[in-house]
Structure 1
Amino acid sequence: MMLTMGMLERYVLKRTMGALVGALAVLSAMVMLIAFVDIARNVGTRADASFLRLLYLTILQAPATILVLAPFIFLFGTMWAFVELNRRSELIAMRAAGISAWRFIMPAAASSFVIGLLTITLLNPLTTAMTAKFETERDRTMNGYLKEAPKGTWLRQGDDKTQIVIRARARELVDGSVRLRGVSLFVYTLNAKGVMDFTRRIEANEARLEPGFWRLSGVREATPGAGAIRSDSLSIPSNLDDRTASERFNTPQAVALWRLPATIQRTADAGFSAVPFKLRLQQDLATPLLFAAMSVLAAAFSLRLMRLGGLAMLAGSGVALGFGFFFFNELCSTLGRADVLAPFVAAWTPPTVALLVGFTLLCYTEDG
């Protein structure tokens, strides 16, 4: 009996994995096509980029989008697998043999959880590296078009005695080194009362980050109550390195899971909000539960027997609920980034709610 049950569970798992691969292939093709069109419109029309260059940028960008839409892979894939089992009357045979729905749903949920673990440990670093590479290559392809930002680029550095706020009109990476243009540096020094006082402002045409210092060119320096002093070049000590400074430019999606705690600490120490990075960390940790919840939810909407009718409507309701869950997840993420919800609450609430809804429906269907 145990051998039979083991074979049955392996069969259901095999069918589920096949459906997940099919859903992944369909979703990946759609994402690649949409991403290529978007990049061709935003980059290709503004820069001299070849087809192969646009395809390269698409390959770099697409994995991050696929990872965001991965819950739909588990929703549609698992639903596809169980609807097929239902259509072939295999679920009827399982239920007639006295097998509980919990027994053949758990392999799908457990495998989804394991895939979630592999995603955050193996795929996440690869995807974030590709996202960071995409942002760099896009800027390089645009030849400065994207470097001009309406609000400029802001950095902050310093220690217990001195703080420097840096604003730049444009930024770029040259051979892995950070270069800023149209730079303003606001220098604050700790006074005897323990308060940071503004001491000087430095304007520069360009600032390039070297090991241990900023190299400024085309400098104009002013202090309160004194005139401006001009110089061709000036060096300002810095505790930033190229990777640390580049992380300030990147989105949280471009920072790997293992680097997020250190990035959060450095961002907080620099006086900037680390909420987006905290939210990203919690969302990554919640990924295995999210994948398992979507599988349970999909299976729960696919168990109605064909002979009772209404399976198509029930499956359609599951798809609609999946889209509703996606928007709920995005709403929680938005509230988390706005610091309305704590990052932990914003990240873990959607998968927990989805899992509870799935378990509730399963209890209603299986146990009455």
Structure 2
Amino acid sequence: MIRIPKTLSRYLSLTFSLNLLGMAAILLGLIYMLDMVELLRRAAKFENVPLSLVIQMGFLKLPDIGQTIFPFIILFSALFTFWQLSRRQELVVLRSAGVSVWQFLAPIAAVAAAAGLLVAFVVNPLGAIFYGKFRLLENMYLDSDHSTVALFDEGLWLRQETLDGYAMLHADKVEMPSWKLQEVTTFFFDKSDIFTKRIDADAAQLKAGEWVFQEAVQNSVNEQPVRVPTLILPTNLTTREIEDSFSTPETMGFWNLPSFIATLDKTGFDSTRLRIHFQTLLAQPFLFMSMILLAAAVALRPQRQGGTFLFIVGGVVIGFVMFFLSSFLQAMGASHQIPVFLAAWSPALLGSLLGIAALLTLEDG
């Protein structure tokens, strides 16, 4: 087996990189225009929403959408690159010179892996910042209710430790940025998970190291209800920790995810969705390399009649199968039906195994 020259490696890497940039520009531009139509439709329902603001919101949202379609960009760029090389008979020359499929795929796979690292370590954190600003503008201009934020459909739930056990706090709405909770109900349990008392309050304010309940009614087991104008519950939670912990994965960058997950665990709530998101970002380079292998398995097959049509259809089918497989496994992981690692890494592992198996068949017959 001959060693592939560095000049050839640079040529293959550059060809794929240029195709990757071009494909990204085309697909992201198309998605931006479609998203702009939706934003303009929503903006038409409100007054004083300038076109410049809608354009800005479209750009702020684009990096988040781009991360979703980047596996497609890698796949289609690889397919187009292999089609170019085949059309110019360069693949035939490479194979005639004794270059194996693994040798000329290595530079392209390396570029794909680098793109995966770039997406996970740079694009994702920047996209999270931009998407957070988009959500802020969306709440200000495209949402009819500016006064409160509902973290869940049923309101906000928090769990915190107490001296005798723990407390579960529920509020219907939260006034931002004062962090004043409305219609608050707090359930207290001892260390044996036995219910001890309940506090109902019209409102509660989170201050430094304490919850301040206003117009509270305390109901203890085997005791009469007691009305208290002001009631204090010590806490070690801060507004920043709670707000960040309940952010969606789209608003959290790669480097901040570990601390967000720790905050969720500290409040006693499920962090599985964030853990899957974090592991999925770690798996990006391997997922992108698996796309190269799958694209090569389709593009390097012997061309027959109708080969171009089957070539395109095969690429589209692979892309959507991988997309739905990834979404399905992540949903199963979020519902605790499969482990987090399996939910995040299976698409990359399965794609790589299928691609390698297909290429071994083509290479060795």
Q: Give the TM-score, by structure 2 length.
A: 0.88
Counterpart secondary structure, 1:301: helix
The answer to whether 1:21 aligns with 2:58 is: no
1:229 to 216, 227, 230: 227
Partner of 1:243: 240
Relative to structure 1, the CA distance from residue 93 to residue 35 in structure 2 (aligned partners, 3 Å threshold; closer, same or farther) is same
Any unmatched runs of 5+ in structure 1?
A: none
- Find the aligned partners of 1:315 and 1:239 in 2 and give their Cα distance: 57
Deviates more, 1:259-268 or 1:64-73: 259-268
Partner of 2:102: 102
The residue identity in structure 2 corresponding to 1:198 is T
What are the within-5 Å matches in structure 2 for residues 51-90 of structure 1?
Answer: 51-90=51-90
The answer to whether 1:295 aligns with 2:297 is: no
- Find the aligned partners of 1:43 and 1:178 in 2 and give their Cα distance: 28
Q: Residues 162-186 of structure 1: CA distance to partner in whole angstroms, max 9, x if unpaired?
A: 5332222223532xx5343x23131
Q: Is the 8 A contact 1:305 1:311 kept in 2?
A: no
- Find the aligned partners of 1:137 and 1:283 in 2 and give their Cα distance: 28
Counterpart secondary structure, 1:166: strand
Relative to structure 1, the CA distance from residue 355 to residue 160 in structure 2 (aligned partners, 3 Å threshold; closer, same or farther) is farther
The answer to whether 1:168 aligns with 2:141 is: no
Calculate percent identity across the aligned residue pairs: 28
Relative to structure 1, the CA distance from residue 103 to residue 172 in structure 2 (aligned partners, 3 Å threshold; closer, same or farther) is farther
- Find the aligned partners of 1:266 and 1:44 in 2 and give their Cα distance: 39
Alignment RMSD (CA, Å): 2.7
Q: Give the TM-score, by structure 1 length.
A: 0.87
Q: Residues 209-260 of structure 1: CA distance to partner in whole angstroms, max 9, x if unpaired?
A: 333233455x3323233345253x6554332222211123311232222332
Counterpart secondary structure, 1:273: coil
Q: Is the 8 A contact 2:2 2:99 kept in 1?
A: no
The answer to whether 1:349 aligns with 2:346 is: yes
Q: Residues 130-169 of structure 1: CA distance to partner in whole angstroms, max 9, x if unpaired?
A: 2333333333332526835531222222345353322222
What are the within-5 Å matches in structure 2 for residues 131-210 of structure 1?
Answer: 131-141=131-141, 142=143, 144=145, 147-148=149-150, 150-159=153-162, 161-174=164-177, 178-180=179-181, 182-188=182-188, 190=190, 194-205=192-203, 207-210=204-207
Deviates more, 1:316-325 or 1:40-49: 40-49
Relative to structure 1, the CA distance from residue 97 to residue 117 in structure 2 (aligned partners, 3 Å threshold; closer, same or farther) is same
Deviates more, 1:41-50 or 1:165-174: 41-50
The residue identity in structure 1 corresponding to 2:115 is I
What are the within-5 Å matches in structure 2 for residues 280-291 of structure 1?
Answer: 280-291=277-288
- Find the aligned partners of 1:150 and 1:267 in 2 and give their Cα distance: 18
Q: Is the 8 A contact 1:253 1:280 kept in 2?
A: no
How many residues end up aligned between the 2 structures? Answer: 360
What's the CA shift for 1:47?
A: 6.9
- Find the aligned partners of 1:135 and 1:128 in 2 and give their Cα distance: 10
Relative to structure 1, the CA distance from residue 116 to residue 160 in structure 2 (aligned partners, 3 Å threshold; closer, same or farther) is farther
Partner of 1:111: 111
